[in-house]
Amino acid sequence: LKFSLPVTHGRWNFRCAMAMELLLSGASLAPAALRARHLDLMDQFASTDCLRAPAWWLCLLGVSTNYLMHGFIWNYPERFAALCQKAPLKSLGSHPVDVFASLEVVAKVAQGISIFSFLGSTGRAAAGQAIAAAPAWCWAACVALLAAGQALNVATYNAIGNAGVYYGFKLGRTVPWCYGFPFNTGLRHPQYLGVVLTLFGALPLVMHKELLQLGLPQLVLTWGSMYGIMSAMEQAGDNEKSS
């Protein structure tokens, strides 16, 4: 998903926050790995064979388009703002932040279509079978991680609104400092972590030989890693008071 303004941290505090986010992200993969082990599918879970499949890379391209857009807007906000004054972007909103928010919806639809097409009818049937066969502990892990992830996501929106989430300070909108939840948890990018927890939390429910052969876990892992790349990119020009 999107950028979130952090609370003021010192340099050392930033490193601690990033380490904690990496630790939590890694831990959230444990239920999926455990489920793969129970199904005797660990070899496929850790395989890199999918990297030789053009369909896997095509799907990854569809998923990553959203983050390429984020990278462009973050690094070239003036150029993006100028484009927002012209058709067709002008029709999406009266301010670059509003246009960005509309483009985010389009990007999410593109991601969904990419995954749907990548799985195909066979993969979608396998996903249904895996979900139906998932034991109670998989559901419990999924619900817990999704709840935590979406709590961070929703709280970020409530705390800083669209202007904070969609790079408002780079696009000409004032974004007030927020010191409440979720920015008082010590997390650097709570919304990004929330998305990663959501992605990884869903994996235990779709552990199936067919899906592992397609490279779905590797795709989701790469998808989650994009948020780490985004965090590193944004750190170079973070809207943070110096301490």
Higher-scoring residue by pLDDT: 21, 82: 82
Provide the residue type at 129 as one letter: Q
Count other C-beta atoms under 10 Å from residue 132's C-beta: 8
Q: 43 is written with which tokens?
A: 């070899």
Q: Are 220 and 54 in contact (CB under 8 A)?
A: no
Q: How far apart are CA 191 and CA 3, in angstroms?
A: 7
Task: Compute the distance between CA of residue 198 and CA of residue 64 in angstroms, rounded to an integer.
Answer: 17
Q: Examine the pLDDT at 141 and tell me if it is beyond 70.
A: yes
Residues 6+ apart with CB under 8 A from 132: none
The string of pLDDT tens digits covering residues 84-128 is: 999 999 999 999 999 999 999 999 999 999 999 999 999 999 999
Q: How far apart are CA 37 and CA 79, in angstroms?
A: 49
Decide if pLDDT at 12 tops 50.
yes
Q: Residue 81: is its pLDDT beyond 60?
A: yes
Indicate the pTM of the whole model: 0.88
212 pLDDT above the threshold of 90: yes
Burial 44-53 (b: 16+ CB within 10 A, else e): bbeeeebeee
pLDDT confidence band for 4 (50 / 70 / 90): very low
- Reference 187, options 21, 11, 15; nearest CA is 21
Tokens 């670059």: give the residue. Answer: 96
**DSSP for residue 95:** S
Is residue 166's pLDDT more than 50?
A: yes
